[in-house]
Amino acid sequence: MVINLMKFRTKVLFGIMIITIISLITASIFSWKIMNENNVNILNYGSIYYERTMRRDILCLMMAYPEYILDVKKSENGNVFIVMKSGKQILYDDGREKSYNERIHNGDLQDMLEEIYPLWYTDSIMDKNNDPGRVRVYSLLEEVYGSSKEQVVSNLENVYAGGRAIPFNNNNKAAQSLKKALQEIYELTRERGEIYSYVFPINGSFNYRVIAGTNLLSPHSFGIAIDLKSDNRDYWKWATKEQGQERLDSYPREVVKIFEENNFIWGGKWSYFDILHFEYRPEIIIKSKYFVENHEMIEPWYYGFPEDEEVLRYINLIENAIN
pLDDT digit string, tens, across residues 7-22 = 556 665 666 666 666 6
Can you give the pTM of this predicted structure? 0.86
Buried b (16+ CB within 10 A) or exposed e, 246-284: ebbeebbebbbebbbebbbbbbbbbbbbbbbbbbbbbbb
Of 222 and 27, more confident: 222
In this prediction, residue 35 carries a pLDDT of 47
Of 227, 60, 76, 234, the closest CA to residue 137 belongs to 60
Buried b (16+ CB within 10 A) or exposed e, 140-173: bbbbbbbeeeeebeebbbebebbeeebbbbbbbb
Whether the predicted pLDDT of 32 surpasses 60: no
Average pLDDT, the chain: 90
Q: How confident is the model over 301-318, as a mean pLDDT?
A: 96
Q: Is the dihedral of CA 20, 26, 31, 32 positive or negative?
A: positive
pLDDT tens profile 205-237: 999 999 988 999 999 999 999 999 999 999 999
Whether the predicted pLDDT of 24 surpasses 50: yes
Whether the predicted pLDDT of 23 surpasses 90: no
In this prediction, residue 289 carries a pLDDT of 97
288-293, long-range: CB within 8 Å, 24+ apart, which pairs?
288/116, 288/117, 288/118, 288/119, 288/132, 289/119, 290/56, 290/60, 291/116
Q: Which residues contact 223 (CB under 8 A, 6 or more apart)?
A: 145, 146, 152, 155, 156, 167, 168, 169, 174, 205, 206
**pLDDT tier at 186, thresholds 50, 70, 90:** very high
**pLDDT tier at 40, thresholds 50, 70, 90:** very low
